[in-house]
Amino acid sequence: MESEILYRLDGKYHTILDRYGVNTGRALKEIGLPEDFLESEEPAMTVTQYYRFIDAIGKQRPPAEVAIDAAKSELAIKQSPEIYAAYQSQNARQCIRRIGMYKQILGLVRYHIEETKDHMCIELSLADGTDIPVFLAEFEFCFLLNLIRRATGKSVRPERVSIFGERSIPAIENFLGRRLEGDGKTFICLSKSNIEFPFRFNDEREWMKYEPEIFCRMYGLENKGEFIRSLQYALIHLLPTGTVTLDGVARELNISRRTLQRRLNDRNTSYREELDDVRLHMSEYFLKNSESSVETIAYALAYMEHNSFSRAFRKWTGMTTTEYRRHNAGHLTG
């Protein structure tokens, strides 16, 4: 089974939290870690542990400055390769969508993004659809805005911002440069000009290094090694085009058809087996996380007609698509 991604922490967190009187030991104990965990040589938390830790800190009702300082820390930018890669985006629009994709896969927080011709709005919730705790919302907004400001060199301010249950948090309002609206939702909106400022450190190669891994993890595909991972990503990329063939995948991988077959044989698998595995995981993801029709899903998986997909899905899972969707109602992937 693929190991969980870790957030590597250092003494900065301990220093920030101690500065504001946060009982880190109590927060760590609440999530099942030793009270002196942050004092170890190279402390690292899983994604789930990290968000539970942030939530545990929030329960102590620390001042908002804790969220601001933690979000501004160098550590926050480099917690994971995916966040670092998003930092290499062309602009804030691309960065926000990349982080939203990342959170859909690994995080407990969800980005619900809406874009119009004038602005982009990001509403936050927990993965189960419930309201996000105030401290976590403070951290997320400060982290995102700090990242955009650093990447653009501009004093970007949101057009609108709201945190559920809060009418005013002076420190957060001062950092964001905008008063809270008390709208009853948790969201932040940026103007079109702000999301189009070019990032100074744009390097598409950094994103390309991590994109295959991100998509494969999003669909829950097991990591069977570098070559199969590349094959999985090629299939994910080609399936929606409807041109997924052995020759097409070989071209995508820049190898010959014979080399592709030989490498699959060396790994005791086949093209059909890997194609079915990718189709299974993608279909499960779509059925759990969208309201797309079976016809739409079948088309996205390069089936000529939906009955063929329905038969294949029942063979893979022992359930019809309707039964699977009903069984997994409310169970979001990630």
The per-residue DSSP string of 84-102 comes to HHHTTSSBHHHHHHHHHHH
On whether residue 203 sits in a domain, the answer given is: no
In this structure, the answer to whether residues 24 and 158 fall within a common structural domain is: yes
Q: Do 169 and 238 lie in a common domain? A: no
Q: Is 77 among the domain residues?
A: yes
Residues 32 and 173 in one domain: yes
Regarding whether 284 and 188 lie in a shared domain, the answer is no
pLDDT beyond 70 at 105 = no
- What is the domain range of residue 299? 219-327
Structure tokens belonging to residue 210: 């991590």
The enclosing domain of 284 has a CATH number of: 1.10.10.60
Which of 87, 203, 206 has its CA nearest to residue 152? Answer: 87
- Looking at the structure of the chain, the number of domains it has is 2
What stretches of 60-212 adopt beta strand conformation (E)?
Answer: 109-115, 119-126, 160-162, 187-191
Residue 59 maps to a domain:
yes
For residue 209, the one-letter residue type is K
Instruction: Tell me if 29 is assigned to some domain.
Output: yes
Which residue in 129, 86, 50, 333 sits closest to 217, CA to CA? 333
In angstroms, rounded to a whole number, what is the distance separating the alpha carbons of residues 45 and 39?
13
> pLDDT value at position 119?
94
Q: Are residues 236 and 185 in the same domain?
A: no
Mean pLDDT score across all residues of the chain: 83
Q: Are residues 183 and 246 in the same domain?
A: no
Would you say 274 and 314 are in contact if contact means Cβ atoms under 8 Å apart?
A: no
What value does the mean pLDDT take over residues 126-137? 82
CA 109/CA 252 separation, integer angstroms? 34
Q: Give pTM, 2 decimals.
A: 0.62
- Reported as a single tens digit per residue, the pLDDT across 258-290 is 999 999 999 999 999 999 999 999 899 888 877
- Tokens matching residue 297: 């899903």
Residue 260 lies in a domain: yes
| Separation CA 267–CA 228 (nearest Å) | 9
Say yes or no: 37 and 122 in one domain.
yes
Q: Average pLDDT of 78-87?
A: 61
Express each pLDDT in 175-219 by its tens digit: 999 999 987 899 999 999 999 999 887 766 665 666 676 677 767
Residue 332 confidence class, pLDDT cut points 50, 70, 90: very low
Q: Which carries the bigger pLDDT value, residue 5 or residue 171?
A: 171
pLDDT at 122 over 50: yes
**What pLDDT shows up at residue 210?**
62
- Least confidently predicted of 23-27, 72-76, 164-168, 244-248: 72-76
Of the three residues 161, 196, 231, the one that is the final residue of a domain is 196
Residue 211 in domain: no
Q: Which residues pair with 45 in a beta bridge?
A: 7
Q: Does residue 332 belong to any structural domain of this protein?
A: no
